[in-house]
Amino acid sequence: MTQENTLLNVKDVAGMLNIGVSTVWRHAKSGNIPKPLKVDGSVRWRKSALEEWVRRQEAA
């Protein structure tokens, strides 16, 4: 899997954003972070989408 296609689980996202797992779920539910994908019954986020979202947040 290439860097742009890397998928992260909720714990990975929490670590990347330096927030708790429950906060990731809250942000996902409210649409404050990029929408996750469902892969074989699991929820995953595209690393590239999160990195781009972080860049936009830092620029704002």
pLDDT at 3 over 70: no
Strand partners, 43: 38
Write down the mean pLDDT value for the chain. Answer: 94
Nearest to 34 by CA among 26, 22, 46: 46
Whether 46 and 13 have beta carbons less than 8 Å apart is answered as: no
Contacts of 29 (CB under 8 A, 6+ apart): none
pLDDT for position 2: 62
pLDDT range class, residue 44, cuts 50, 70, 90: very high
**What CATH topology corresponds to 3-59?**
Multidrug-efflux Transporter Regulator; Chain: A; Domain 2 (1.10.1660)
Q: Mutual orientation of helices 21-30 and 10-17 as an angle, nearest 10°?
A: 100
